Structure 1
Amino acid sequence: MSKVFINCHLYTGRREIQTAFIRFSKRVEALGPMTEFQPQLADQIIDLTGKIVVPGFIDVHVHGGYGADSMFSDVDQLVQMTVKMKSEGVTGLLLTTMTQSPEKISKAMRTIRAASEKSPAILGIHLEGPFVAKKFNGAQPVDQIQRVSVKKLARWQQLSGGLVRLVTYAPEVNERRDLEAYCRSQQIRLAVGHSDATYELLQKCRIDHVTHLFNAQRGLHQREPGVVGYAMLSRVPVELICDGYHVVSPVVKIAYRQIGPKRLELVTDAMEAKGMPAGNYQLGGQKVAVGNGRALLANGKLAGSVLKFNQAFKNMIRFTGCSISEAVQMSSANQAEEFQLVGKGFLETGNDADINVFDNQLNLMATYSYGK
């Protein structure tokens, strides 16, 4: 039996259909304007008049949530975290590690690999660090920062079963040529982040992605564009944490106007306290105090976020005035295209039925992953 949503306002990631139907089971079977709808005997029809349907969200930078952490939780805890992330509309993610000892990263690779075999929402791994700059460590533990080692990265990729899809590093403090060659051979994308790199250096590097724009990186200066200037002038995808704390709303609007919806990718950078009560938590073994919507280290630095993706989606629209179509592009489509996630990011016939349903006030009502 297939479900059929009728009379919905559908955003597929490529087009908008104001009065639409979409038929799906595990995958999308048909969609289009209501004028083309022909009911079938086995259809379970659900009238969504006044409701909005968009693709499931893809978070390519998330460390944890709901009490689970990518570095320290066990397989079942990570699987349960991905289930709970459906409550915020996330149907796919790159589970993100952080700067720790090689042994702890190796353990995380094994655990995430095992969790991915139980949870199809885990689409890969984002290795944030340990090859970053001490000057812009952010919440990455300084004493665990390491120089680039292709041997280590190859070991982690082997342990993960080839799940590493993105590596955030600082090119100014690392030998990059061997790293670039290895990542190209493995189809791993290289991101600049936690970096003091100059604009001139970045133009000489292979940079595929910019990690959490404005945070923990050389900023824009009138005599040195830095990482932020590179993000604005390049053609690569750029992450943005749209919680109003990491980046305040006027600066989100600047990023939207200068970079645009075709390159921006909303991320949460969330840690284990997302979806949990205020209190004391940890990130990379460091104590984190969570309250008033923020996660802070003892030194006052932001320690990831407790942002839910559906709130980031709403914030982007509220902060910038962008359209729902553009917000969908920044929440699903761009991520799927960048990482070549087949069947993801778009609601089109044959794609996975990863679907979010919102009311007309953009409150999330339901999320379907593979049609369930």
Structure 2
Amino acid sequence: MKLSIQKDLLINAINMVVKIADKHNQRVAILENIKLVLEPNILTLTASDLEVELTATVRLPDNACIKAGSTTLPAEKFFGICRALAGDIATIDAEDGRCIIGSDKGKYNLKSRPAQDFPSIGVPNNTVPLSIDRTDLFEMLGHTRFAMATQDVRHYLTGMLLEINEDKLTAVATDGHRLAVAHRALSKSYDSWAVIVPGKAIVELERLLADLIKESKEGDVVLGIDNDFLQVSLNFSDEGELGGISTTLTARLIEGRFPDYRRVIAVNANRSAVFNKEELVNVMRRLSVLNSKDSPGILFDFKELDRVKVSVRNSYQEEAEEFLPVNYQGEPLEVSFNEAYLRAVLRTLEGQVYLGMTGDVNPVLIHQVNDEMNHLYVVMPMRV
């Protein structure tokens, strides 16, 4: 294959897919490469880890394709070379296991591998298309993604549950210590279904949606879902920074039984507290000076109705405390949280924040006041 292309366009296309390339798969080493397929007016770049596959399709001007063909190149080296390449036009010339990447100012010679050796994640069949506003989907992922487990023997906890119930889409994530739920209304009703999407796919989809929203906040995206895959295609306008590129994300769904989040959020609170989010965050920031990994707790002592004592104590027996205004209802209670878990929830909220509690070791329901129909959170307390 032989290609002449605007360097910035090529860099943008590589950037779309490069993070999916699997650098640590010793069994299928070619997954550290990006596959390139060149046709007369289209260049397609694909990266995969066999769980998630990302494809960027670039529309080419006439005469950009000098010789159609295909190859695979080491993802990080290829990306680094293209970014370092002098000049505005990049050329790619691949043949017989070698690839020359260059411009009129220099060239780099890379080892390549045949495109036919690059494995496919598979092709979805009989997908059910779900249309949702791009901003709604982006906000749902942003409000829940942080609660996914990063490593867990319960593999389903490393993904996100997407659930349809008639005209409502629900996104749920949990790592067993905290749970995040987001709801959005849809423009029409669908048959009910629920799937678990890999965490890596969620992270990449959120990133791609952020780029799409930079161009325009208005418009829908379509999720295609079958029994095995989620597939999403995003098209960028010609006028935008990523003009001429379209991207398709395909993810193999996670098998497993996701926890019943409805039971978890059914907190029948007999104690409640309402804070100002910014005031609480500022108190936590100041007290965190004495917190550490082995002493991550932050203690709330609800003895008064109009203020709460917030304190930390580390393994060196060092202590700090402050009082915070609060609207509290119920019997006195001491409850301790992992500061990082509580802080992650607070990042998604604004204004007045509600805590619903039943005891010092029972799940605590958290939401923004007057926003409980869209976003709900549960955090498990630490033992005092």
Aligning the two structures, in what range does the TM-score lie when normalised by the shorter sequence? under 0.3
Flag the structure with higher helix content: 1
Bigger CA radius of gyration: 2
**What TM-score, normalized to structure 2?**
0.20
**What TM-score, normalized to structure 1?**
0.20
Flag the structure with higher strand content: 2
